Amino acid sequence: MIKLEMQNITLAYGHKVVVKDLTFQVMPGEMVGLVGPNGCGKSTIIKALSRVISPYSGRILLNGRDISQIPRKDLARLLGVVPQIALLPSAFTAFEIVLMGRNPHLGLFQYEDPRDMAITWRAMERTSSQHLAERRISELSGGEIQCVVIARALAQETQAILLDEPTANLDISRQIEILDLVKGLCRGNKLAVVAALHDLNLASHYCDRLLLINKGRIHAEGTPIEVINTENIEQVYGCGSYVHTHPLSGLPAVLPRVDSNRNSSLKKYR
């Protein structure tokens, strides 16, 4: 069980500030969605949480412990990441890639034992990717690679998972399958989950809480019903939308309003 906290985090690439004074926390068993337009800082937040970049100021805490004080290997046992575009070495097989998820659990002089193999296989089973096990990465589609990377994060057996656009390359049934799986782990194993999502409808249906981020700041925070409304979408994305209540779940669902006037800027190219 792990609690994830960001306290007054400012993130910058060189002198370019990307995220300003951000504070939020994720409890065990909670799934928090980061939503917002392209370039708003979602991926940067994921990178900071996994200590790929270090914050300009502020602290990131795992169960009250500053992550900059946690050795990388220990951190990788607590926190797994599904990166946005996973570039994988094409000559390795899918199984070998998922097996790399066991790396943080192995000492320098250790080899993967049958238990590691079994955990790896189980992770592939859960993401319905075991039929890919012997295939080389070069032979897989974008969606299949996505499943392999998610399986690798599962094989890592962490207590928190960060997902950066986990459904980007997946078809509609795979999107639901993967998010069901993540939500199930979140609830069943009390994982703390942070997911950066572009699809507001998926975010609305799977996340307990949403952070709507605009230009590196939190624009709105709360349950999907509190965050997803026409006003917020207009303010953050600058486009009209029609937000209605999903007839089955009762959660907000978004349809973009396709306004012919908005295309006027394109007309001059015709």
**Length of the chain counted residue by residue:** 270
Residue pair 201/254 in contact by the 8 Å Cβ criterion: yes
From the list 66, 21, 31, the residue with the least C-alpha distance to 190 is: 31
Please tell me the distance from the alpha carbon of residue 235 to that of residue 214, in angstroms, as a whole number.
9
Q: Which amino acid is at 82?
A: V
Residue number, 21 or 96, with CB nearest to another protein: 96
What is the rounded CA–CA span in Å between residue 104 and residue 130? Answer: 22
CB of 250 to another protein, least distance (A): 36
How far apart are CB 82 and another protein at their closest, in Å?
A: 9
Nearer to another protein, 52 or 255 (CB): 52
Distance of CA 244 to the CA centre of its chain: 25
Q: How far is the CB of 188 from another protein (least distance, A)?
A: 17
Burial class, 98, CB count within 10 angstroms (exposed 0-12 / middle 13-18 / buried 19+): buried
Q: Which helix (H) or strand (E) holds 21?
A: strand 16-26
- In the complex with another protein, which residue's Cβ is closer, 50 or 232? 50
Which lies closer to another protein via its Cβ, residue 85 or residue 255? 85
Nearer to another protein, 83 or 252 (CB): 83
Please report the DSSP string for 68-112 in residue order: GGS-HHHHHHHEEEE-SS----TTSBHHHHHHGGGGGGS-TT---
| Spatial distance between the Cα atoms of 147 and 163, rounded to a whole number of angstroms | 12
Q: Taking the complex as a whole, how short is the minimal distance between the CB of residue 220 and another protein, in angstroms?
A: 29
Nearer to another protein, 126 or 205 (CB): 126
Tell me if residue 251 falls in helix, strand or coil. Answer: coil
Tell the smallest beta-carbon distance from residue 245 to another protein (Å): 38
Place of tokens 């029609």: 242
| Closer Cβ to another protein, 72 or 244, answer by number | 72
Question: Minimum CB separation from another protein for residue 200, in Å?
Answer: 27
Q: How far is the CB of 26 from another protein (least distance, A)?
A: 17
Residues that bind another protein (CB under 8 A): 47, 50-52, 71-77, 80-81, 83, 86-93, 95-97, 100-101, 103-104, 106, 108-109, 111-115, 117-118, 120-122, 125, 133-134, 136, 138, 152, 156
